[in-house]
């Protein structure tokens, strides 16, 4: 069993938060603070990220979904949870919802994609990291994660620095394996089989996974709801209060 770093806070219905590629569970600090007032919030670092175990070798998103399933069984004691994933976490959510619907009350897929028709940018990124380390791609990544206006505020500058510092601490080979896993996803067919109540959140200013990708996910999943947030790619770090409110409104609507 892969050793995952887990933080648990609050009390109430269980929410599991799953982070983006190159981030860790601190990406959710603002959202977790909001939700923990009335929920049990469980955050974790994916394998190869943060303080979780680095597992050598190739990786598939389905493996991350199995990690999440194990975590839910262990931490929630068989009770179904609200699972919220952003970017790579949203890909994990898409795989998890098909493979283990019995573990889920609802699923939220934020700032994510179901498929990348062009894998060349991912290959280029992996090659850069292999040659020069994660620091070489970090400034470009963080610039896509947050809007320029937000980064000019004191709060935004602090968020950008925190995300950058986590990214550059990521093991290069572990990052490459995760990068390749993201590049290889194709949930276009399997998303039609998701039967768990689903909310898709798209960032209006997200250049990494533009709104069209969120619209495609929502269009494929039966009865999925689609919401927008005025943010770039890591919307949960940029607009945590609004992000948390979208979740709460969705759960209340069911």
- Residue 78: pLDDT above 80? no
* pLDDT at position 124 over 80: yes
User: What is the mean predicted confidence (pLDDT) over 117-137?
Assistant: 97
The answer to whether residue 19 scores a pLDDT higher than 90 is yes
Give the tokens for residue 77.
Answer: 């004691």
In this prediction, residue 172 has a pLDDT band, given cuts at 50, 70 and 90, of very high
pLDDT digits (tens, 9 = 90+) for 179-226: 999 999 999 999 999 999 999 999 999 999 999 999 999 999 999 999
Count of beta carbons in the 10 Å neighbourhood of residue 175: 23
What would the pLDDT profile of 230-242 be if each residue is shown by its tens digit?
Answer: 999 999 999 999 9
Q: What is the pLDDT of residue 11?
A: 97
Overall average pLDDT of the 63-89 stretch: 97
Task: Output the pLDDT for position 175.
Answer: 98
Residue 103, pLDDT score = 98
pLDDT tens-digit readout, 144-168: 999 999 999 999 999 999 999 999 9
Q: What is the dihedral of CA 34, 161, 85, 96, to 10 degrees?
A: -140
Mean pLDDT for the stretch of residues 170-181: 98
* CA 237 remoteness from chain centre: 11
Residue 73 has pLDDT above 80, yes or no: yes
Q: How confident is the model over 43-62, as a mean pLDDT?
A: 98
């Amino acid at each position: 069993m892969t050793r995952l770093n887990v933080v648990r806070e609050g009390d109430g219905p269980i929410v599991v938060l799953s982070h983006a590629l190159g981030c860790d569970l601190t990406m959710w600090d603002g959202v977790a603070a909001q939700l923990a007032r009335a929920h049990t919030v469980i955050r974790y670092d994916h394998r190869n990220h943060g303080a979780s175990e680095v597992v050598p070798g190739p990786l598939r998103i389905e493996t991350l979904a199995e990690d999440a399933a194990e975590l839910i069984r262990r931490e929630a004691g068989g009770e179904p949870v609200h699972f919220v994933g952003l970017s790579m976490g949203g890909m994990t959510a898409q795989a998890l919802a098909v493979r283990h619907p019995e573990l889920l009350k609802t699923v939220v897929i934020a700032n994510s994609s179901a498929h990348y028709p062009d894998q060349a940018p991912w290959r280029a990124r992996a090659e850069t990291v292999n040659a020069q380390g994660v620091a070489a791609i970090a400034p470009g990544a963080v610039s896509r994660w947050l809007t320029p206006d937000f980064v000019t505020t004191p709060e935004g500058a602090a968020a950008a620095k925190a995300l950058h510092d986590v990214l550059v601490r990521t093991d290069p080979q572990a990052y490459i394996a995760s990068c390749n896993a993201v590049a290889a996803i194709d949930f276009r067919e399997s998303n039609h089989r998701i039967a768990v109540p689903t909310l898709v959140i798209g960032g209006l200013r997200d250049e990494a996974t533009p709104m069209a990708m969120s619209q495609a996910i929502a269009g494929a999943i039966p009865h999925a709801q689609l919401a927008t947030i005025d943010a770039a790619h890591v919307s949960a770090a940029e607009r945590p209060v609004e992000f948390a409110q979208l979740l709460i409104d969705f759960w209340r609507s069911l």
